[in-house]
A and B are shown apart, each in its own frame.
Chain A
Amino acid sequence: MVNAQNGAQVLKGLLDTLVLQVLDTKDNYGFGILQNISSQLDGDNMVLREATLYPLLHRLETKGLVESYWKPGQRGTDRKYYKITKDGKNYLKYRISDWKNVSNILKKHLIT
């Protein structure tokens, strides 16, 4: 069935790259990452939901692509910050080049 959600499905494949890209600029915490990505996607909250983000961060941390530390937040609660690792940066480079290839193929063959 073709609907608007199919576009979101394609974008979900990009999420790890998007999250790593956000962390590559500076360390960030869950809510901050979500807001950052949401603003990048022009406020589209359907692509990255909270229930997707935290398991994704957990997975990235288990793979050693990000590491976490705690810092006191502005509102009295501790924030868990995520930081991209060296492996994460390498992985991000590969992913970006992969997506560039995909983008080139799309431009050449599908988008006229």
Chain B
Amino acid sequence: MLSNIFRFPGLSCPTEALTGDTILDDYIKRLDKQLWGSAKIRIFTLAEVKNHLVEAKTGLMQSGITEHEASIKAVGSMGSIESYSNVQRKSLKVKLLKIGLQSGILFGVFMGLYQWIIEAHNNKVFINPLTDGIVYGLFEGAFFGFFMGWFATLVWPERNLPSHNIPDNKFCVEYSKPMRFLSKLVIVVFCLMAVWCIAVSISEYPSRVPVKVMPAEDKQLSSYLYQPWWLFIGLGLLSGLNIFLVRSGCRSFQINQDGFWINQWFARKQRILWPAIKSIGTLGETYGWIPSWNYWRKVKYINYVLSNGKTRRIYLYPDMLNADKFILLLQAKVGMKD
């Protein structure tokens, strides 16, 4: 029963993974039962195993044995089902925990703060505003984190096989239309909640002062912030942001392994950013990669004070050769004299 939660939707073995040979299909079905994720996720593992079984069976048949024997031998050579399913489940488990933890913390902090702010100025307090905020944050964060982890890891990605129309034949995943709509809706609703939360927190703070002495302008501010057109402004801004993110490729994903997705933007960043960095010069001519944060942290510089009083900064990159550093500093010094 519990394992079925991890296999929803599409509990039965996907038909694309079946070969038509009962012996091979039996193995594939038994393997499918051990895998996690929706049918669209499980196919990543099943398709590879299916291909292997078909190839092995054909090879054996060419060596002169009957189809039935070839099927039995091909299945026999595959070994235990667990060796495949364990790898798939482990990778999904890691991803589930990662996404669950991230979204849980985000949502938990958000809801905790919201509860704290709300309780700070009304009488419906359970223990005290801060404790209630923490309790709410933990509870809702855990619940939401688990849901998001499950949904984003095991349900969300849609298979796109075969992917021959995609450059380099990358194994890509696209979201279906309803999923794309839902994703937009979720982001918009969340951002609206954030806007609303900020508006409420700002507008409610003056009300901590007893109503009788609340200045008129504060009341005005409060009613101003409660105006529903704030929501429309937020909606407009977020739609704009969404369009920007979609256009720039930040909202589409590429998959490389069982459910491991790579953001298109990151997948393409080398192609996009590389020419830009190359145009800067030094790094581009020397290095064929995008420097990490750790790399930038180690970049040192020396300030040279020029004769006209201006400062010239010479950057020394951590993996430069000492000879290069020396030449650079020498050039800077010569330049300074000029």
Contact = CB atoms under 8 A, between A and B. Distances in A.
Contacts of B4: none
Interface string B232-261: 000000000000000000000000111010
A45 B19 CA distance: 25
A24 interface: no
Contacts of A45: 77
B178 interface: no
Nearest to A54: B84
A97 interface: no
Nearest to B47: A78
Nearest to B257: A61
A12 interface: no
A66 to B, nearest CB: 10
Interface string A59-86: 1011000011111110101111000000
A55 B55 contact: no
Interface stretch (B162-170, B218-226, B308-316): B162-170
Contacts of A71: 164, 169
Contact of A51 (B59, B78, B170): B78
A50 B79 contact: yes
A31 B52 contact: yes
The number of chain A residues touching the other chain, given as a range, is: 20 to 34
B98 to A, nearest CB: 13
Contacts of A70: 47, 161-163, 169, 171
Contacts of A50: 52, 77-79
A69 B54 contact: no
A111 B280 CA distance: 56
Interface string A30-43: 11000100000000
Given A75-B54, A77-B50, A80-B48, A55 B162 contact: no
B58 interface: yes
B56 A31 contact: yes
B83 interface: yes
B47 A80 contact: yes
A58 interface: yes
Contacts of B256: 61, 67-68
Contact of B91 (A49, A58, A79): A58
B84 A55 contact: yes
Contacts of A80: 47-48, 51, 171
B257 A58 contact: yes
Contact of B77 (A49, A62, A77, A78): A49
B74 to A, nearest CB: 9
A36 B241 CA distance: 51
A77 B79 contact: no
Contacts of A73: 51, 55
Contacts of B80: 51
A62 B56 contact: no
A77 B87 contact: no
A77 B47 contact: yes
A67 B54 CA distance: 23
A80 B45 CA distance: 10
A30 B162 contact: no
B127 to A, nearest CB: 45
B96 to A, nearest CB: 16
A41 B52 CA distance: 20
Interface in B247-286: 256-258, 260
Contacts of A69: 168-171
8 smallest A-B Cβ distances: which pairs? A51-B79, A51-B83, A31-B55, A77-B51, A69-B169, A55-B87, A80-B48, A70-B171
Interface of A: 29-31, 35, 45, 49-52, 54-55, 58-59, 61-62, 67-73, 75, 77-80
6 contacts: A29-B51, A49-B79, A54-B83, A69-B168, A69-B171, A78-B47
Given A49-B79, A62-B91, 12 more contacts: A50-B78, A50-B79, A51-B79, A51-B84, A54-B84, A67-B256, A68-B171, A69-B169, A69-B171, A70-B162, A72-B164, A78-B47
